[in-house]
A and B are shown apart, each in its own frame.
Chain A
């Protein structure tokens, strides 16, 4: 069974007909071509598919596309504004927090949601905030450093959607 939905992805609105069982990750990747969102376990257990749904980090492999109807989705492709990288993208690059990069989009979006709620987290809070995102390459050391380095910078306050409305 298919259902018509409207997805607002990275500020662009898309009208789609989707099977009711189709997950958001598949719609983003296969129907909208936004392959920056990664599919690792497809079971809600690795965090590679993390996107922001109304500013909150969710595993898009656990969300049905119909559940996102009418809501704001931010993927990694939507994080840079007019070609200028988000501060988190910059600090991930600068701190060597990226190896294979498969966890990176999800990790950055989880960090984004974390900093929107807690602009100046402690190291422990960062580690806990990222507990749902696995990385097998880095041991998280440089990822945590990158998030701490981005914290407190002006562009991290509030979710992207809130900023758009400002």
Chain B
């Protein structure tokens, strides 16, 4: 691998100092003159007709400036992939927590008091909470679709029946995953303000400013360009800040009140009415040859959409086939259905359907390995896809270090010494994963990114682009790329958060695209700035641009540093000579991915990422408590731009995965979420976690900037299966339902064969 001077080196995050001093401004730290505070009234019923709403008492409360209901608004629909929701409910509510009215008042307490004064008369309707019930004949229709099926994806490739006939071993099982919240600490929020010219300014965090404004524009009767989104610092997102319906509510409130409105969700609202992960029921059948090679796979998926679609259709599309490019599958089939229920709508969360399905597939493979008497690592190595191959769905693997990930994870975890050899109640489990770095199918017109790099008269640079750093650190990686190209220090680079009226178009932070795609554009913009810089310098220095070098902020004729001029000087000169325009590098990057066909065949991403995780667990046979005592996560990331940042992505993603696997679940009864606080919704705390050990497996990708690929989502994908497989190794029982909370594990252990290991059971 070529060496770089800044890329791949330990560089301190640009924003770390301000954050450590408490100086960083998040949305909740901002206010505008005359600003009001918004609150939302939500339905207590999972399914009901709104007979009437009486807002008079709320309106007459001192300090209340506006009360808005669905009937005050034009019936425009809102929705990311399917426009199936109203900004505020008009006649029907479809989940407990649905937005029914909103208030703007001089302070939050008054707004809250006003909510209590609004009288809504409901006529309660029969509701459905289970997917099977929702699809049954005669079930109440939640939307006007057959059997409440919101969307369906069917995949059929290769001869699945023949594969099963030829198989030596066929395994079959049902796996279920639960609804979990993204758990960012900084709740969804915004400040909306209408400008004199009728346009709308929104200060707020979204992972995709340009897409969010496109989606919301029609619902408030504007063109996207009339909405200006300005992003403050962001306290996490993980998918949960892609869909920001709250912004639309704040916008209509601000219009009604004629004043700017700040609206911050309470954590209770986050947990009861956010856009949590889509829970799946996965019926999985796989056939294996005697040597462990996979012959066929057949999957049935039911996905619990909740009451509205949000990102659900995209999630089931991923769930239906993404994991198939991990191994050499000769034949796969999948039928995935997204089902409306009268529950909180679900949406995007790190992994986007992939962690759920990897849980099923990687668990079943482990059981097959035990049945066949093959080491679980070996069965994966035998099936693993390789660089240069085209997978069953047409994915072109220009780089792939899956084998290497497996080997390094084995070494680091002492797999050979420990697997099935640990004392009672202890075990080791492995799981692998594949992911994309962006996905052309997610935004059809464009799968690229763009960026502008402006050189400043002090020798620094300013980057603007439509990409988003919600905390993961890609902005520092961008600064490293610019620093690398221009020969300036990373801390001389300022990265501006997106402002849709200033930044060039971008798709934002989703699909693990920020390093691979966003970074691709940043590098090209920096190169363009460098080219312009050399041209300018060549005029000043009287030598041709290709005789010039840049080092330590100086541009000079090769071999003659003394004769050089500083970048600052050249940049300043360029401003005057260019009559103000100066050096402005432009970059656009498109990875050359392709739109899949109707059957989901096509090379949807410019590169693909792989990983292998090994978990070591301790299971308390009495209480059923599972403790992860060691965790190794080897990731094929092409190249780490900022190694500590990459490690941080892995550590954080694994931690979220451990929460998903062992403790987190939004528990609902009759459609109402019961755990509305962080004591009952259990995000892992420091004592719950081991010292997660990331391994960066670096093999340059030919397309990615400096060889880099995406890393945002991958770390969560293999976690549930790695832990389930470790528990299986420890106690001989494989758990197929998440989360593996102590009660569930204890119950499963109570019913097991006393033999323990090597188990074939499942619970």
Chain A interface residues toward B at CB < 8 A: 29, 34-43, 45-46, 48, 75-77, 79-80, 85, 89-90, 92-96, 98-105, 108, 123-124, 126-128, 130-144
Contact = CB atoms under 8 A, between A and B. Distances in A.
Contact of B655 (A104, A133, A138): A138
A43 B183 CA distance: 15
B28 A101 contact: no
B553 interface: no
25 contacts: A29-B29, A36-B23, A40-B267, A41-B678, A42-B267, A85-B20, A85-B21, A90-B20, A98-B20, A100-B235, A101-B15, A101-B471, A102-B235, A104-B19, A126-B686, A133-B686, A136-B182, A136-B236, A136-B652, A137-B472, A137-B652, A138-B655, A139-B648, A140-B655, A141-B692
B23 A137 contact: no
Given A95-B644, A101-B471, A137-B472, 16 more contacts: A36-B23, A43-B267, A76-B22, A77-B21, A85-B20, A89-B21, A90-B20, A98-B16, A100-B470, A101-B24, A133-B685, A136-B183, A136-B655, A138-B648, A140-B651, A144-B686
Interface stretch (B164-172, B184-192, B356-364): B184-192
Interface in B610-651: 644-645, 647-648, 651
B647 A98 contact: no
B199 interface: no
B236 A104 contact: no
Contacts of A126: 686
Contact of B21 (A36, A48, A143): A36
A58 B652 CA distance: 25
B13 interface: yes
B185 A102 contact: yes
Contacts of A134: 183, 185, 678, 683, 685
B212 to A, nearest CB: 19
A90 B20 CA distance: 8
B621 to A, nearest CB: 23
Contacts of B19: 98, 101, 104
A95 B663 CA distance: 28
B686 A140 contact: yes
A111 B21 CA distance: 14
B229 to A, nearest CB: 19
Nearest to A90: B20
Given A40-B186, A46-B678, A131 B20 contact: no
A139 B652 contact: yes
B648 A142 contact: yes
Contacts of A103: 185
Given A40-B267, A101-B233, A136 B692 contact: no
Contact of A96 (B29, B183, B184, B645): B645
A137 B712 CA distance: 11
Interface in B231-246: 233-236, 238
Chain A contact residues: helix, strand, loop or mixed:
loop
Given A29-B29, A38-B26, A77-B21, A143 B236 contact: no
B686 A131 contact: yes
Nearest to B205: A100
B9 interface: no
Contacts of B471: 99-102, 137
Given A137-B648, A139-B655, A127 B687 contact: yes
A161 to B, nearest CB: 19
Contacts of A123: 691
Contact of B22 (A35, A40, A46): A35
A58 B691 CA distance: 26
A36 B22 contact: yes
B136 interface: no
Contacts of A89: 20-21
A43 B677 CA distance: 8
A131 B687 contact: yes
Given A101-B15, A104-B20, A136-B183, A42 B266 contact: yes
B689 interface: yes
A130 B648 contact: no
B679 interface: yes
B20 A92 contact: yes
Interface in B425-481: 470-473
B22 A48 contact: no
Contacts of B187: 40
A116 to B, nearest CB: 18
Nearest to A78: B22
A135 B686 CA distance: 8
A35 B29 contact: yes
Contact of A93 (B12, B473, B653): B12
A78 B651 CA distance: 30
Interface in B674-706: 677-679, 683, 685-687, 689, 691-692
A153 to B, nearest CB: 16
The interface centre, meaning the residue of A42, A79, A89, A136 with most chain B CB atoms within 10 A of its CB, is: A136
Given A41-B677, A100-B470, A136 B238 contact: yes
A45 B687 contact: no
A13 B597 CA distance: 68
B20 A93 contact: yes
Contact of B654 (A96, A131, A139): A139
B561 interface: no
Given A35-B29, A98-B16, A136-B652, A41 B23 contact: no
A140 B647 CA distance: 12
* Closest 3 pairs between A and B when the two form their complex, measured CB to CB: A36-B22, A100-B471, A101-B19
A144 B679 CA distance: 22
A35 B22 CA distance: 7
B23 to A, nearest CB: 7
A36 B655 CA distance: 26
A101 B29 CA distance: 14
A98 B13 CA distance: 8
Contacts of A108: 20
A45 B186 contact: no
Contacts of A79: 21
Contacts of B12: 93-94, 96
A46 B687 CA distance: 14
Nearest to A101: B19
B416 interface: no
Contacts of A42: 266-267
A139 B473 contact: no
A42 to B, nearest CB: 7
A144 B655 CA distance: 14
Contacts of A38: 26, 28, 185-186, 235
A123 B677 CA distance: 28
Nearest to A92: B20
Contacts of B473: 99
A141 B686 CA distance: 9
Given A43-B267, A76-B21, A143 B186 contact: no
A97 B291 CA distance: 45
A95 to B, nearest CB: 8
A10 B448 CA distance: 48
Given A102-B185, A140-B655, A37 B22 contact: yes
Contacts of A130: 685-686
Interface in B549-579: none
B22 A77 contact: yes
A35 B23 CA distance: 8
Contacts of A105: 22
Contact of B16 (A93, A128, A139): A93
A133 B197 CA distance: 45
Contacts of A127: 686-687, 689
B235 A101 contact: yes
Contact of A41 (B24, B28, B267, B648): B267
The interface centre, meaning the residue of A38, A101, A102, A139 with most chain B CB atoms within 10 A of its CB, is: A139
